[in-house]
Structure 1
Amino acid sequence: MSRFQLLSDAQWSLIEGMLPRPTGRKGRPFSDARTMIEAIADRYWCGIAWRDLPEVFGPWQTVWTWHRRLAADGTWDRIHARLLAAADVLGAVDWAVSADSTIARAHQHATNVTRLTGAGSNYKNPLVEPPDHAVGRSRGGLSTKIHQLVDGRGLPLVIACTPGRAGDSPMLLPMLGQLRVERVGPGRPRVRPDALRADKAYSSRAIRAHLREHGIVAVIPEPADQQGHRKRRGSRGGRPPAFDADEYRGRNVIERRFCHLKQWRGLATRYDKLAITYRAAAVLHAVIAWAKHLSDTP
């Protein structure tokens, strides 16, 4: 096996039943699912080319095919959703949610594909390849931005990828629309957090109005320009928005999550041409984090 074992037996047991299994047809031997997942994770951990995978994992083409198919059919998203539902049953989801994004520089191997100028990423359906492949030019060059909603412990709830030039604020409401934790028994899925922690980039009238309308406490500081504009209007500017500085300190969990995410060098730098395969690796990282959390929860 590789120089490390990523998944313990307890963590593997949580996801094993949701992965593809042999169908009983004659033909080539069915690849061992655990070996394939360890190989995919090893590739992103090391940030190497697929063809440089250690021989112990078998043909690199087989590993790539597994990753491409699991990304395209939404397997990792379904596993992520089931782990969230299992965590909700145990009360292991902290509903004080934090939002933010991080930039990943796109390697030249990820950028030699045709992109339609000005096209936006298809964040509404992450399983459809966006026309720009979620690669955009920002100050640092061609890059991709990973947006996340995490719970109060820093575990990912929603993951989306956009071009690096995309703003943070426009992505928040679509991501809140994707937040959905199914109930194992009867009852509607939970779609509303108790509170939303976010930095000044997410301070806008539309966002604050949406959170207020849905009963979500906004823990978002007001930028200096918005403060000045409100004060210049006098009584017409209204009262300053409520802000709990002590609660806001909990927002650092998402910064720590991005630090963990970028321990995988293949995520810290994007080498994948396709956005769906790159995002699938980020979802796999989230699945492993939730599996570890659940296996440690008594």
Structure 2
Amino acid sequence: MSRTKSLSDPQWALIAPLMPSPTGKGGRPFNDHRLMVEGIIYRYRTGTPWRDLPESFGSWKTVWKRHRRFSGDGTWDKILTKLLTHADEVGLIEWEVSVDSTVNRAHQHGTNLGRATGGSSNYTNLLIEPPENAVGRSRGGLTTKIHALCDAKMRPLVMLLGTGQGGDSPMFPEVMASLRVPRRGKGGPRTKPDRTMADKAYASKANRKLLRDRGIEAVIPEKSDHIANRKRLGQKGGRPPTFDTEAYKRRNVIERCFNTFKDWRGIATRYDKLALTYRGGVVLRAITIWLKLLGDTP
């Protein structure tokens, strides 16, 4: 495999049928999809500016426009959904899931915000650009958060964006609601994991109730102030929530999942001005992770 080629023939064969029609608007044919996808992967893997893409990929403008199109029309999300359906069908998804977020620094060339920025809204709509482009000011400067949910084998299932200073707990319902793996044939999509693990940032009563109402086992430790308040109230404080300490030891899979994402320099640092295209790169990384497993699976 060369430095400018990332997908094997079996991997490309899985996603080639999922690509849009080879004819663009006005009857103009698209350039080779595989070449464009390889160019997009190369850009995010290396973090190089779009203008500095090797000439072997063709015009950098064409590569960028293809990525912008696929990020905006939902092509990347559709491909990932199809791969997840296939993975679930062959039993590759482990339904003990972990939730967390990671903060990524936004490069100065990837921001176009004034000094007065700092909105607290979270980015949940996948196809509409948020007012602050999912960039906010935190202690690390201008940053973006990736809120993710992965399975027990650190494979990504859900990826959303939020501002760097945005809280984790308010995004938890959105992350859980975005878990949707369709099934082939009869039956609705699977949206309910067997167990959900998260750190203390998600230890609110509302999040615990959300999981309890859906019949999902919660493995979330109590915050120290929650413990103190419960003990102070005595019997009125109720019983402590159940907590499986052995299961919680496996929560580190989400941290390792983030490490895999950040192997791509264009994701570890955000160079994109648009949250739409940055998230598209994140979803594309998830696609390549699943392709490595499914490419050799009959």
The two structures have a TM-score, normalised by structure 2, of: 0.95
Q: Which residue of 2 aligns with 1:284?
A: 284
Q: Which residue of 2 aligns with 1:213?
A: 213
Q: Which residue of 1 aligns with 2:66?
A: 66
Q: Which residue of 1 aligns with 2:76?
A: 76
Unaligned runs of 5+ in 1: none
Distance 2:126 2:196 in 1: 23
Structure 2 counterparts to residues 148-297 of structure 1, below 5 A = 148-297=148-297
After the TM superposition, list the runs of 4 or more consecutive aligned residues in structure 1 that deviate by more than 4 angstroms: 24-29, 113-117
Query: 3-state SS of the aligned residue for 2:103?
Result: strand
Q: 1:44, 1:265 within 8 Å by CA — same for their partners in 2?
A: yes
CA-atom RMSD, angstroms?
A: 1.9
AA matched with 2:103: I
Distance 1:296 1:248 in 2: 32
Q: 2:102, 2:147 within 8 Å by CA — same for their partners in 1?
A: yes
Between 114-123 and 68-77, the greater mean CA deviation after superposition:
114-123
AA matched with 1:291: L
AA matched with 1:120: S
**Residues 1:24 and 1:130: Cα distance change in structure 2 (over 3 Å):** closer
Q: Which residue of 2 aligns with 1:57?
A: 57
Shift of 1:25: 9.0
AA matched with 2:207: I
Deviations 1:240-284 (A, max 9, x none): 111111111111111111001011111111010000000000000
AA matched with 2:99: A
Q: Which residue of 2 aligns with 1:118?
A: 119
Distance 2:189 2:101 in 1: 25
Shift of 1:285: 0.4
Distance 2:45 2:258 in 1: 14
**Residues 1:77 and 1:26: Cα distance change in structure 2 (over 3 Å):** closer
Shift of 1:118: 2.5
**Residues 1:238 and 1:21: Cα distance change in structure 2 (over 3 Å):** same
Query: 3-state SS of the aligned residue for 1:97?
Result: strand
Number of matched residues?
A: 297
Distance 2:283 2:209 in 1: 30
Percent of aligned pairs with the same amino acid: 56
Distance 1:25 1:163 in 2: 34
2:65 maps to 1:41: no
Distance 2:275 2:26 in 1: 34
**Residues 1:185 and 1:142: Cα distance change in structure 2 (over 3 Å):** same
Q: 1:53, 1:60 within 8 Å by CA — same for their partners in 2?
A: yes
The two structures have a TM-score, normalised by structure 1, of: 0.95
Deviations 1:121-150 (A, max 9, x none): 340x21111111000000110100001011
Q: 1:119, 1:131 within 8 Å by CA — same for their partners in 2?
A: no
AA matched with 2:216: I
Distance 1:113 1:7 in 2: 36
Q: 1:144, 1:164 within 8 Å by CA — same for their partners in 2?
A: yes
Between 43-52 and 106-115, the greater mean CA deviation after superposition:
106-115
Deviations 1:90-114 (A, max 9, x none): 1111110100010110111111257
Q: 1:2, 1:56 within 8 Å by CA — same for their partners in 2?
A: no
Distance 2:176 2:4 in 1: 36
Q: 2:208, 2:218 within 8 Å by CA — same for their partners in 1?
A: yes
Query: 3-state SS of the aligned residue for 2:10?
Result: helix
Unaligned runs of 5+ in 2: none
Query: 3-state SS of the aligned residue for 1:233?
Result: helix
Distance 2:23 2:6 in 1: 27
AA matched with 1:248: Y
Distance 2:263 2:43 in 1: 12
**Residues 1:51 and 1:189: Cα distance change in structure 2 (over 3 Å):** same
AA matched with 1:13: A
Query: 3-state SS of the aligned residue for 2:7?
Result: coil
Distance 1:22 1:108 in 2: 36
Distance 2:123 2:104 in 1: 18
Query: 3-state SS of the aligned residue for 2:94?
Result: coil
Shift of 1:24: 9.0
Shift of 1:5: 2.6
AA matched with 2:121: G
**Residues 1:248 and 1:28: Cα distance change in structure 2 (over 3 Å):** same
